[in-house]
């Protein structure tokens, strides 16, 4: 990266980049790591981890040029943090179970926030990055609130809340409500669905990513089956598409060949 950013011999594109301009690439590489993991492709994972590591090196080099920090400090910082947050491994603290480990982790994070000038008056929800995907952020916010018992006692209450929010969405449609109100109600429904996923032990973001992949695969099967018949997707073949969709959903069968 130092060579690529060299003012005399470097790459013109690399020299033009800033923290902000490479941010989209950093996010993209992180998602490509996730994709490789979900596809259970170790060769792709190795490659994508390298691409993600390059982003860390890129940001670090820009920071070093500005006199902010360098790559070594980034690595040292995360090493120090891991040691500090694992006194049951690197020191003599006795944490007998997973609950105790989690509790100590949160206490250490609170001390770190206080050391950064974020005192006890800060919200418990402070620090949940706004740039996270909405489903991920919703789950993190809910988990933070659950630490102080602001949560449903059992999953039955969560199901009831989802049904309640769905009913409110229906009401906004029937009453020809202002579009902004519909946005709010859909948001509340999605938030409650994330809550349901959390109580069911499901990662909402991963679940939706998997659903997207299933939809792509099944719709691709529909398109392929229509092509065999000399047809194209459209209103004229809607019933046929519905039939093919149902076939595509059948487990363990290749009805579209």
Average pLDDT of 53-82?
97
**Pairwise CA distance, residues 93 & 219, whole Å:** 54
pLDDT at 215: 94
Helices (H) and strands (E) in the chain, counts: 11, 0
Q: List the chain domain ranges.
A: 12-85, 134-202, 206-249
Question: What is the predicted pLDDT for the residue at 253?
Answer: 52
- pLDDT tens track for 72-91: 999 999 999 999 989 999 99
Asked if 126 and 120 touch (Cβ cutoff 8 Å), the reply is no
The pLDDT confidence band at residue 255, using thresholds 50, 70 and 90, is very low
Tell me the whole-structure pTM to 2 decimals.
0.70
Cβ pair 133, 207 in contact under 8 A:
no
Q: Is there a contact between 209 and 39 (Cβ–Cβ < 8 Å)?
A: no
Closest CA to 116 of 125, 104, 126: 126
Pick the more confident residue, 99 or 1. Answer: 1
Give the tokens for residue 54: 């390059």
List pLDDT tens digits, range 192-248: 999 999 999 999 999 999 999 999 999 999 999 999 999 999 999 999 999 999 999
> What's the fold here for domain 134-202?
Helix Hairpins (1.10.287)
- pLDDT at site 102: 82
Higher pLDDT, 65 or 124: 65
Lowest mean pLDDT among 2-6, 17-21, 124-128, 160-164: 124-128
190/125 Cα distance (integer angstroms): 19
Residue 131, burial from CB neighbour count under 10 angstroms (0-12, 13-18, 19+): exposed
CATH topology identical between 12-85 and 134-202 = yes
- Res. 99 pLDDT band, cuts 50 70 90: confident
Reported as a single tens digit per residue, the pLDDT across 108-153 is 877 887 777 765 557 888 888 888 899 999 999 999 899 888 999 9
Three-state DSSP state, 163: helix
How far apart, in whole angstroms, are the C-alpha atoms of residue 86 and residue 251? 45
12-85 placed in CATH 1.10.287.1080? yes
Q: What are phi and psi of 189, to 5 degrees?
A: -65, -45
Alpha-carbon gap, residue 110 to 178, rounded angstroms: 42
With contact defined as beta carbons under 8 Å apart, do 196 and 155 qualify? yes
């Amino acid at each position: 990266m130092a060579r690529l950013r060299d003012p005399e011999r470097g790459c013109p594109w690399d020299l033009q980049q800033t923290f902000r301009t490479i941010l989209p690439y950093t996010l993209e590489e992180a998602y490509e790591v996730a994709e490789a993991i979900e596809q259970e492709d170790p060769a792709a994972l190795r490659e994508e981890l390298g691409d993600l590591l390059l982003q860390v090196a890129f940001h670090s080099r820009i920071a070093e040029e500005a006199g902010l920090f360098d790559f070594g400090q980034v690595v040292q910082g995360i090493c120090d943090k891991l040691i500090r947050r694992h006194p049951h491994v690197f020191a003599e603290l006795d944490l007998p179970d997973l609950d105790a480990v989690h509790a100590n982790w949160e206490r250490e994070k609170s001390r770190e926030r206080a050391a950064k000038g974020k005192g006890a008056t800060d919200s418990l929800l402070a620090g949940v990055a706004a740039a996270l995907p909405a489903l991920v952020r919703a789950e993190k916010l809910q988990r933070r609130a659950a630490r102080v018992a602001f949560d449903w006692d059992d999953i039955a209450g969560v199901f009831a809340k989802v049904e309640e929010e769905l009913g409110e969405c229906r009401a906004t449609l029937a009453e020809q409500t202002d579009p902004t109100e519909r946005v709010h109600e859909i948001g509340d429904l999605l938030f409650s669905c994330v809550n349901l996923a959390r109580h069911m032990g499901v990662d909402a973001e991963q679940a939706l990513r998997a659903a997207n992949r299933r939809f792509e695969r099944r719709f691709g099967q529909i398109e392929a089956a229509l092509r065999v018949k000399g047809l194209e997707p459209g209103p004229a073949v809607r019933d046929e598409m519905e039939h093919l969709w149902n076939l595509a959903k059948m487990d363990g069968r290749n009805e579209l060949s």
